Amino acid sequence: MYVYFMKNIKPLNKEIIKNHVEYLKELKSKDKLVLCGPFTDFPGGMVILLAEDLDEATNIAKSDPFIASGCKSFEIRTLEPANDENNYLLEE
């Protein structure tokens, strides 16, 4: 699982926003999108996604219309989910 954090650089327009939404729908249809949304306390947002490796995740992020248009920069991180199924990563 990967997370890419986006930071606003240039103003968005309706066309870029529409293209971004279509891109998210495409990721969802391919079972790649886990969660996404804007931050309420920071100028940007994030996308949590499933990918085979960091290269695929990076390519997905770079193809996001928000990023490809230069309106947002991004950082990508690898996320190891902690949950009931893995005892929140507690090793005993």
Mean pLDDT computed over every residue of the chain:
96
Let me know if 48 is exposed, middle or buried by CB neighbors in 10 A (0-12, 13-18, 19+): middle
What residue type is assigned to position 38 of the chain?
Answer: P
At 28, the pLDDT band (50, 70, 90 cuts) reads: very high
d(CA 49, CA 27): 8
Give 32-76 pLDDT, tens digit per residue. Answer: 999 999 999 999 999 999 999 999 999 999 999 999 999 999 999
Q: The whole model's pTM is what?
A: 0.90
Query: Sheet holding 44-49: strands in order across?
Result: 33-38, 44-49, 2-8, 72-78
